């Protein structure tokens, strides 16, 4: 597979070009603003915003941190988002040995 932006050969299953850093895979952004259960540091607010807007979570965390340090007001919206944003629903796994349902 080739990157549409820099033209270099990349892996077929790559989501991001290793050479230019542009997203090339067909990943979908979340359609609902939720706090994910996996990968969060404190409450998952920054991770939720990064997945919803399809940007890097580190960028969101740095911007939020700079906002808190520079103005001090950034902590209030974080706490409000922590309260208002719902958590991602639990994904239950199938029991061991369970068979898929068939239409027989």
> Is there a contact between 1 and 9 (Cβ–Cβ < 8 Å)?
yes
User: Given phi > 0 = left and psi -120 to 50 = alpha, else beta, which region is 7?
Assistant: left
**Cα Rg of the chain, angstroms:** 19
Q: Delimit the domains of the chain by residue range.
A: 29-88
Taking the whole predicted model, whether its pTM rises above 0.85 is answered as no
Cross-strand partners of 16: 23
pLDDT tens for each residue of 80-91? 988 998 888 776
Render pLDDT for 13-38 as a digit per residue (tens, 0 to 9).
777 777 777 776 655 555 788 888 88
């Amino acid at each position: 597979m080739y990157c549409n932006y820099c033209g270099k050969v990349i892996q077929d299953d790559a989501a991001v070009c290793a050479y230019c850093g542009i997203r090339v895979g067909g990943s979908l952004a979340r359609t609902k603003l939720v706090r994910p259960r996996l990968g969060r540091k404190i409450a998952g607010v920054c991770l939720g915003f990064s997945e919803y807007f399809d940007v890097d979570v580190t960028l969101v965390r740095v911007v939020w941190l700079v906002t808190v340090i520079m103005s001090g007001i950034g902590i209030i919206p974080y706490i409000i988002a922590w309260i208002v944003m719902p958590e991602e629903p639990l994904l239950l796994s199938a029991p061991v040995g369970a068979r898929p349902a068939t239409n027989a």
